[in-house]
Structure 1
Amino acid sequence: MAIFKNTTGKLNKLNILPLDKEKALQALVESNLMTALDLHFLASEYPTTFGGRIDTLAVDLNGAPVIIEYKRNKNDNVINQALSYLKWLRAQKSEFFRMLMIDKLGKAVADSIQLDWNNPRVICIAESYSKFDMDTVEVVPLRIELFKHRFYEQDIFSLEPLNVPDAQAVLLPAVAIPKDSKSVGAEESLATVEALRSKANEATRQLFDAMQEQILAWDESIEEKATMLYVAYRVSKNFAEVHVQKNQLRIHLRPMEYNDPRGMVEKIPDGYNWTMNRRVYLGNGEDLDYVMGLIEQSYQSLL
């Protein structure tokens, strides 16, 4: 992907620079995980019991464990290596991962994340991929995401998603978890948009349907995913999280300054440590177009 700098109306192409050190890419991504990928960083070079080390271990905003591996040269079989680590992770107990989250993020942040142990993600970051790599992620029924990185002159860095896997593609056996556990059990993996929608009265369901139709019409790459708490809309990251209530929709948006002359966007206090820390309510059809404009600003910030 060519990158250009606009200098008084003239486009100048930026040159791609080689990666100076193998660890430079990993260090840069890890120190900017939330900004780049909406992930909470948990550990670097995390040791497994069979001797390997996971490059980066993280958890996403929906509570799914995330394994990140970096392909540093053409001969690295990064996808197979990541899948081996995923097999190891799945063999562990969810309580192990919960304790790691508490240790690294603090109890308040960890408790705000509903662990989705049955829907892990694998992210591979590389300068390029082979046809074999692309074919592998297409046929393997797991959440494998490929990102291509580039370093450009003038300290420009890009991270481009090459595929958008189905958030529900992974079909792994459910893990039996006690009812009083905070981890997500098999019954919680069945969250659907319709189940959340059914919480609302008829007027609010109609608002949700109108909002949903407009969001999904913006771009075919927009994903819709139901969690136990909300319906998420995302491209590379979440741009809207819709909490369906009986008489209104509570919509969380990305942290940014909005063009909001009516002052409907509220900032959630920093003490909550929420990434999607802007909030707006939609309770009647008269506000629909205005609120859709706010949601679109959140979406546009990711493009």
Structure 2
Amino acid sequence: MFQLRFFQTAHGGVRELAPRLAEAEADVQRLVEANMEALLGVRFLASEYGTGSVHAGRIDSLGLDANGTPVVIEYKRGTDSGVINQGLYYLSWLVDHRAEFEQLVRERLEATAAAQVFWSGPRLICVAGDYTRYDLHAMSEHRRSIDLVRYRLFGRDLIGLETVATAGGRPAQGRPERRTRPVRSGCERIAELAKAADEVLLGLGDGITKVQRKQYSAYRRLQNFASLCPPQRTKVHVYLSLDPGEVDLVPDFTRNVAGLGHHGTGDLEVRLRTERDLERAHDLFRASYAAA
């Protein structure tokens, strides 16, 4: 049940906007495909992609997420018990047709993106009006990376998305216990700081998936909310998916890197040199997690 309520303010009063489903499944698909990167953090590649005569089907949407992971997206207007199995069927096809998918990326994006497609854990995202307890159980039985997203429309121009469940990543865990670490110096101390940052990011809440790339680790709910780079000699870089313009930047701690080349994703750079830096970064980590 979608719990978020919207109210329109006018003439000193408020009017509640009742949630509703789309008129047709195709309406949801068109809306998401036209705004896929903003809504799901996925770059759009193709719509109604044919799977050939053997599979004899059409994938609703194909995309590539911020970590280079292939994504199959399936839509349902309301509740449909077959959405997960249908999506998994197409996900299996995708894994068996890697060269075809990479060629699609090369045509729609660029050769660099095609060369960096990350096949460890292709994703299935289901966007539907709702899910049943059987859907949630079926998802937990699979080892694939699956995100169940519930949508609702409000008024004429508002859409709400809620991540109902995520599977295929690290098991959900609570906030890590604070431990007293031995005082170390140099590279060992920075390595310990990077490990502590990893624990904090994974402990922010449920449904976090860690994606390990060669040059960074991404932390994802539906979208990336943080990227942790390997420790340098004196500092650790964390990149957050927050608007730097809405953050009070602190010299030598936070920096706007929008438009600047760096590993990982996110426009807000956080530099960690001490455990005190990590402590004061907690609020920024939580804000990025909440927005993902």
TM-score strictly above 0.5: yes
Letter in 1 for 2:195: D
Report what 1:68 is aligned to.
73
Distance 1:86 1:16 in 2: 31
Distance 1:149 1:64 in 2: 23
1:201 aligns with 2:158: no
Which sections of structure 1, spanning at least 5 residues, go unmatched? 170-199
Letter in 2 for 1:124: C
Could you tell me how far 1:286 is from its partner in structure 2?
4.8
Report what 1:249 is aligned to.
236
Percent sequence identity over matched residues?
A: 32
Given the alignment, which residue of 118, 125, 128 partners 2:127? 125
Change (3 A) 1:146 1:270: same
Distance 2:63 2:31 in 1: 15
Change (3 A) 1:221 1:46: closer
Change (3 A) 1:74 1:215: closer
Could you tell me how far 1:84 is from its partner in structure 2?
1.8
- Cα deviation per residue 1:94-148 (whole Å; 9 max; x = unaligned)? 333222112111234445xx32224111111111223332322121222222111
TM-score, length basis structure 2? 0.79
Given the alignment, which residue of 26, 31, 34 partners 1:28? 31
Change (3 A) 1:21 1:59: same
Report the count of equivalent residues.
269
- Contact 1:64–1:120 (CA under 8 A) maintained in structure 2: yes
- Contact 1:268–1:279 (CA under 8 A) maintained in structure 2: no
Map of 1:91-102 to 2, 5 A cutoff? 91-92=96-97, 94-102=98-106
1:54 aligns with 2:84: no
Report what 1:260 is aligned to.
248
Letter in 1 for 2:250: R
Letter in 1 for 2:236: L
- The alignment's C-alpha RMSD in Å is 2.9
Report what 1:140 is aligned to.
142
Could you tell me how far 1:10 is from its partner in structure 2?
7.0
Question: Secondary structure, in 3 states, of the residue corresponding to 1:125?
Answer: strand
Change (3 A) 1:73 1:290: closer
Change (3 A) 1:117 1:214: closer
Distance 1:268 1:274 in 2: 12
Change (3 A) 1:109 1:118: closer
Distance 1:273 1:218 in 2: 22
Could you tell me how far 1:25 is from its partner in structure 2?
0.5
Could you tell me how far 1:270 is from its partner in structure 2?
6.4
Distance 2:133 2:287 in 1: 36
Distance 2:134 2:187 in 1: 49
Report what 2:40 is aligned to.
37
Map of 1:144-293 to 2, 5 A cutoff? 144-167=146-169, 201-247=187-233, 248-256=235-243, 257-263=245-251, 264-269=254-259, 276-293=266-283
Deviates more, 1:49-58 or 1:248-257: 248-257
Given the alignment, which residue of 13, 17, 32 partners 2:16? 13
Given the alignment, which residue of 89, 110, 123 partners 1:84? 89
Change (3 A) 1:213 1:88: closer
Letter in 2 for 1:23: A
Question: Secondary structure, in 3 states, of the residue corresponding to 1:164?
Answer: strand
Question: Secondary structure, in 3 states, of the residue corresponding to 2:218?
Answer: strand
Question: Secondary structure, in 3 states, of the residue corresponding to 1:88?
Answer: helix
Could you tell me how far 1:18 is from its partner in structure 2?
3.8
- Contact 2:25–2:76 (CA under 8 A) maintained in structure 1: no
- Contact 1:119–1:168 (CA under 8 A) maintained in structure 2: no
Could you tell me how far 1:74 is from its partner in structure 2?
4.8
Change (3 A) 1:55 1:38: same
Change (3 A) 1:160 1:53: same
Distance 2:120 2:29 in 1: 26
